[in-house]
Amino acid sequence: MYAWPVILRDPVHHLISFTGAEERLVVDLMDTPEVQRLRRIRALGLASLAFPGGEHSRFAHAVGSAYVMRRYLEHVGGLSSQLAAHDRIAPETGLVALAAALLHDLGHGPYSHTFEDVVPQARSHEAWTEALICDPSTSVHRVLVGVDATMPGEVAALVRGRHPIAHLARAVSGTFDVDRCDYLMRDSYMTGVRYGLLDLDWLLASLRLHCATEGAPATLAVDGEKGLTAVEGYFLARLYMYRQVYLHKAVRAADAVMRSLFRRLHRIGAPAGTPTALADAAAGRELSPQRYLELDDHLLEVALATWSNGSDPVAGDLAERLRSRRLFKTMSLRPDVDVALAEAQLSEIVRREGLDPDYYARIDRVEIHACEDDDESLVVLHGGARRERLVDASPVLRGLRRERFVHCRALFPECVRSAVRRGLAEFV
């Protein structure tokens, strides 16, 4: 158990302390089994197969997110003389914000995003987070209710990006939300891919709150003189981490193997020896919160070992591939390829080699953008009253938002590599 006051070493933020009286709640939440469970879930999921350093857990990230939230609250506190009453953050609201930051990932399943992506009909992790916070049987719920009966509801709403104070809602779910600030920095530090190294101090120092019209809710803005490059740096970090890490070919290949495995299990039913929680999940059956909480990386990994020794050759092969890192091979295709056509052709090749294309052939096309919808509302404040949309003020963003970043790849087992290379030559 952590006991308040807590000072933690953190490699990313260096020293994280929850020593203020108002931070007792954070420490109490850190001690719950539901938050401790996040130690058993790797933040980067299967990406650790491509980046040996990227083996950190959701727990470290959750604590880091709470720390970034505290710094956001301090920064906004310093601006409060310029804010209308309805935009200031009262101490009770600060508690809700810290709790939301710490708990925002509570509902993640094994290997983080992987799980909800590959399991048929899986509830999203956001939905699970909300469910766990609101379920009276969880320790998290009890700790929150101990502060105030309305707290679970408020925290759950804020985690989903809903709060009367608009800028706070966006600090949990928006362009610069505390989640992203922490994960970009942490994933970058841990993988050694340096592009995600945000200048958090400078970014925070550049944030302003701004009312488009008198009385309107304040929204996030950026100081035009100091902040433009810090903000551009943030967008670039985000873009690069996606291109370099989150969408790395080995990561996509591992995801595809996992996806095939679960598709197979869905069809054949979970083999004997599969833990109930996993069997239910694989079958697309509803899970109770307690059952869901049993799911973690360890349970899945042990199941992989079981399945790899099981009687179904397809499930066995796919499970063993994940354990021994014999992922699918990838071949880059042109971005403008007709995916359906390429997939048909790849399937045919794989079938001719005696494999079932349902599990062993996939065209993986992902498209990312430097700017997202939510980014469009950001405003840059120049001296005086002049303001401008960020995407207009920044030549870097102006240039990048017109571009699409497309990765289109064929994924297949190594044994068909030369057949694929010949057969898909026209798509390269």
Applying the rule CB under 8 A, the residues between 32 and 91 that interact with its own copies are: 33, 36, 39-40, 48-49, 51-53, 55-57, 59-60, 63
- Smallest distance from its own copies to CB 300, Å: 8
Q: Which of residues 180-209 bind its own copies (CB under 8 A)?
A: 189-195, 197, 199, 201-202, 205
Judged by CB under 8 A, the number of residues near its own copies is: 78
Which CB atom, from 75 or from 88, has the smaller least distance to its own copies?
A: 75
Q: Which stretch binds its own copies (CB under 8 A): 68-76, 101-109, 143-151, 301-309?
A: 301-309
- Smallest distance from its own copies to CB 71, Å: 13
Decide if residue 175 touches its own copies (CB under 8 A): no
Q: 3-class DSSP state for residue 315? A: helix
Fill in the per-residue mask, 312 to 351: x = in contact with its own copies (CB under 8 A), - = not in contact.
-----------xxxxx----x-------------------
Q: Give the separation between CA 76 and CA 221, rounded to whole angstroms.
A: 12
Which CB atom, from 126 or from 246, has the smaller least distance to its own copies?
A: 246
Contacts of 73 (CB under 8 A, 6+ apart): 89, 94, 97, 98
3-state secondary structure 226-278: CCHHHHHHHHHHHHHHHHHHHCCHHHHHHHHHHHHHHHHHHHHCCCCCCCHHH
Which CB atom, from 73 or from 158, has the smaller least distance to its own copies?
A: 73
Name which position in 294, 353, 358, 374 contacts its own copies (CB under 8 A): 294
Which CB atom, from 68 or from 165, has the smaller least distance to its own copies?
A: 68
Q: 3-class DSSP state for residue 380? A: strand
Fill in the per-residue mask, 4 to 33: x = in contact with its own copies (CB under 8 A), - = not in contact.
---xxxxxx-xx-x-------------x-x
Identify the helix (H) or strand (E) that includes residue 170: helix 166-172
Decide if residue 229 touches its own copies (CB under 8 A): yes
Q: Tell me if the bond preceding 217 is cis, omega within 30° of 0.
A: no
Q: Give the separation between CA 125 and CA 139, rounded to whole angstroms.
A: 18
| 312 φ/ψ angles, rounded to the nearest 5 degrees | -80, 120
371, 235 Cβ separation under 8 angstroms: yes
Q: Give the separation between CA 41 and CA 355, rounded to whole angstroms.
A: 32
- Smallest distance from its own copies to CB 319, Å: 13
Neighbours of 392 (CB within 10 A): 11
**Using alpha carbons only, what angle is made at residue 320 by residues 318 and 322, rounded to the nearest 5 degrees?**
75
Q: Which of residues 90-119 bind its own copies (CB under 8 A)?
A: none
Contacts of 141 (CB under 8 A, 6+ apart): 132, 133, 134, 135, 152
13, 67 Cβ separation under 8 angstroms: yes
Which CB atom, from 279 or from 299, has the smaller least distance to its own copies?
A: 299
- Smallest distance from its own copies to CB 79, Å: 11
- Residue carrying structure tokens 């879930």: 41
- Smallest distance from its own copies to CB 103, Å: 16
| Nearest in space to 197 (alpha carbons), one of 188, 210, 206 | 188
Which CB atom, from 216 or from 305, has the smaller least distance to its own copies?
A: 305
Q: Which of residues 234-293 bind its own copies (CB under 8 A)?
A: 236, 239-240, 243-244, 275
Name which position in 226, 267, 285, 352 contacts its own copies (CB under 8 A): 226
Q: Give the separation between CA 324 and CA 326, rounded to whole angstroms.
A: 6
- Smallest distance from its own copies to CB 143, Å: 13
**Using alpha carbons only, what angle is made at residue 111 by residues 192 and 335, rounded to the nearest 5 degrees?**
70
Which CB atom, from 165 or from 331, has the smaller least distance to its own copies?
A: 331
Which CB atom, from 334 or from 352, has the smaller least distance to its own copies?
A: 334
Decide if residue 379 touches its own copies (CB under 8 A): no
